[in-house]
Structure 1
């Protein structure tokens, strides 16, 4: 093996993060190159794939230069990327229109059409997901019905990383994890679902070859090598969707292992030999980077968003003071929370600022504070926000606990930096919370390990234990757990009691 380093690209919503790791798991360098998102009208959210390519080329060159690494030292390139998009390209791989990305909501009529023709429960048991406008299938159906000329000219439907892989190698491929975010993929058979494609009268030939994430798509072509600054022939391993890559980066590579990403949104996911089909369809399933595993998952909309909202609306003084003394305002908020008792003086927060996906699947839900008294303080409100997110995540965790009893939870993402929140989560869930070495590099690290496994540098995904070892364990407080258990029941009763109110409030939206 000529090269000594792994180059991983993480094509996110706001930009491409390029990273280089050595074979011992050390992060050698990281570069972010941003690109725009386009909003042609309300509910329409698109990106130009040419912007991705420019970002990948630019970040690669900058990364090699800043790291002082020659292109001959790159052993493999692999990918993590945003999921659930729809990009149509011609035979040459040229984009026929901008990609409709995951955040786009234009396909609500197509969602209803899918539910009518397939049935929600049938669709859930084939794909592992609810049938939804969020996924690539509904977006493809929208293009067919609204832009038939583009649909007829199309050769393949790709996701973000698939497009870049084609630019690098000439191959039209995707992996199991990205395929499982289309609503067109048979999750257990690991192949495109003829039943769904035929029911929607879509073209099967539009769907690319499906591979394991660790498969090599090909070598970098001489033409692409000139543009990107890498060596022609460098192997390109397909990689996976960002959620599945984060799963590996968090160290969740064995059956029953569990992690939580605590970012603007938040999700809990486990590694499982089989999909988890929740009778209430509260959770959903991806394919793991390891093709022998799945990643059952539940995602909430406003986790870090809730804390950020609270900071911006109620903590002007903390923001101002933080600038003066050189501290993050979240540290000052945490300091206040430590002066309050668990349970926030009987105050509950329902974290539905953006409606909710899993576990509620209610886009009409609204945020709420319940239980205010004359003695309620701003610090109580701050604690209630953190606790409310914890209760909502516990709903997801409880689903998985019934199938795979969860022993502990690895915590990653920006929210994992605050030990106060980690302790609150441990106490609500009554499970140890494990804090790894790298908190915000999980997706790129998962892609890097996928690349290493793909070229045989690593025997399997268990090498992540060396890459991202556990630095700290937060032990749950049993006494706090008893209190939180009572409040968790009240949290769920409060949500159900407000359902009619949400509907009434939405009349004014």
Structure 2
């Protein structure tokens, strides 16, 4: 029997795959499917993906959902997107990619970022963009392409983000939204426009940047040429959507000042809502524009969270991970429980991909300290999970010290499925942590909300509170919190000692 209409189709273009989710107008998930793809780690902090793999995953997941749920394409009233941020997809006038996507985890543009910082001033750049100038962002990556691959630069019609590339494929429109623009290091976060000073410094052709619009903007409709491939009707409205961090916030109901969250995915971040950018004198945190572009999302992000846990699973639980990855995670969590707070003396600095908040050190590497013959596999696993969470606590401290109000706290993302990780976060943060019922659908839900608003199915951003669903609240253990505070001191000392080495 067909599902009731109307439906919203939200695609979350992540680091490991595209998740396609169907929602009704009450926020109920009517179907979900993930289509994976690979990431190329090329060495020297170079990380790329093939944008065509995103498109193929979009088409595969859409067609699967329509067939599996026995629905008619006419029931899908809008398709919308959440996408990984801070990347670069060079495309031609047809919207076809002419170079692999240089994604958020890539840090090859250190020289370009450092030169801008030296020439324009660290304080100026931070205050204008709300972000610290580093090679993680799109701007330095575009400058790197201009300097190192001039033929690609000249042939590029527009430099796009992940979701914007898909929107261009579907509609022929070359746009981005405010949330993604604020993650480029090229955007004036106060005036909400491209910053000429930075663009001119790198001598970037401004016409190669897309127009910036609200996340709820209807970019166009599905073109006849691609309708059959993706499985949607020609003319289906396409709402541009937003950056994954901002979509995740909205999907969790993070819309008012005082709302805050921790997302545990491939990377991880702690963020809240503010009426204005939060400026940290030490520049440990940064600011993105919320999907409600009248608001700011102050945030601190670390590079490798779920990525590190996946590495642990692949390397140390190979006997399970090759055949049953779910079982591998279960065994890992059981062995973490059998270890002790502090992992029997192991300290794991989780910096496999360098680090953003709070250190901003691209050259730092992961380290395991305190190893003895008595340590077991579960100790390694616990030390890795503790290392991630200890770094997140440092980010939380930086946000609160900078004046961000954090009253209502939520935890979501794949890592929130782990009961022990939930408790670890609550104990280290010393905050009650709300867990939604659908911890892995929050990003897609945020995209669905902006899609629904864009075509008039939903009234406004307040719908995010109505869609908010609460599974349970985790309360911190005061005794455990004290033990973790002692670990935090050891963790910080370990960072400064290894920083000297790298």
Q: TM-score, normalised by structure 1?
A: 0.88
Please, which runs of 5 or more residues in structure 2 have no aligned partner? Answer: none
The 1-side partners of 2:209 and 2:68 are apart by 38
Give me the whole-angstrom Cα distance separating, in 1, the residues matched to 2:191 and 2:478.
43
Distance 1:166 1:316 in 2: 40
Q: CA RMSD in A?
A: 2.9
Q: CA separation in 1, counterparts of 2:281 and 2:109? A: 26
Return 133-142 or 222-231, whichever deviates more: 222-231
Counterpart Cα distance in 2 of 1:187 and 1:307 = 34
Report if the CA contact (8 A) 2:257-2:405 is conserved: no
Alignment pair present for 1:359 and 2:361: no
Aligned mates of 2:419, 2:282 — CA distance in 1: 33
Say if 1:292 and 1:309 are closer, same or farther in 2 by CA, change over 3 A.
same
Shift of 1:430: 0.8
The 3 A distance-change label for structure 1 pair 87 and 337 is: closer
Are the equivalent residues in 2 in contact too, given 1:438–1:468 (CA < 8 A)? no
55, 59, 62: which one aligns with 2:61: 59
Alignment match, 1:104: 106
**Does residue 491 in structure 1 map to residue 499 in structure 2?**
no
Deviation at 1:398, TM superposition (A): 0.7
**Does 2:297 align with 1:274?**
no
Instruction: Output the CA distance in 1 between the equivalents of 2:100 and 2:335.
Output: 46
Q: CA deviation at 1:185?
A: 0.7
- The 3-state SS of whatever aligns with 1:151 is helix
Question: Equivalent residue for 2:349?
Answer: 350
Q: Distance in 2 between matches of 1:14 and 1:333?
A: 21
Deviations 1:398-450 (A, max 9, x none): 11223124234311122211211211221111101111111112221111111
Partner of 2:331: 332
Partners of 2:269 and 2:82 lie apart in 1 by 17
Q: 1:439 to 1:373 in 2, by over 3 A?
A: same
Q: For the structure 1 residues 91 and 473, does the alpha-carbon distance in structure 2 shift closer, same or farther, using more than 3 Å as the test?
A: same
> Counterparts in 2 of 1:142-157, with a 5 A limit?
142-157=144-159
Q: CA deviation at 1:265?
A: 2.7
1:372 positional shift: 6.5
The aligned counterpart of 1:507 is none
Aligned-pair CA distance for 1:14:
3.5
Structure number with larger C-alpha Rg: 1
Give yes or no for contact 2:104–2:137 (8 Å, CA) kept in 1: yes
Q: Which residue of the partner structure matches residue 300 of structure 1?
A: 302
2:80 to 56, 65, 78: 78
1:7 paired with 2:9, answer: yes
SS of alignment partner, residue 268 of structure 1: strand
Measured after TM superposition, the shift of residue 465 of structure 1 is: 3.4
Distance in 1, matches of 2:394 and 2:430, equals 13
2:289 aligned with 1:290, yes or no?
no
Distance 2:60 2:310 in 1: 31
Change (3 A) 1:334 1:232: closer
| Cα distance in 2 for residues equivalent to 1:256 and 1:151 | 43
Equivalence for 1:429:
429
1:439 counterpart = 2:414 = no
- Cα distance in 1, alignment partners of residues 45 and 376 from structure 2: 38
Cα 1:292–1:366 shift into 2, 3 Å: same
* Counterpart residue number, 1:407: 407
Structure 1 match to 2:457: 457
Is 1:19 the counterpart of 2:21 in the alignment? yes
Q: Which moves more between the two structures, 163-172 or 395-404?
A: 163-172
Task: Specify the SS of the correspondent of 1:29.
Answer: strand
1:164 pairs with one of 163, 166, 183: 166
1:378 deviation in Å? 5.8
Shift of 1:256: 2.1
Question: TM-score by structure 2 length?
Answer: 0.90
Indicate the residue corresponding to 1:246 in structure 2.
Answer: 248
- Corresponding residue of 2:221: 219
1:397 paired residue number: 396
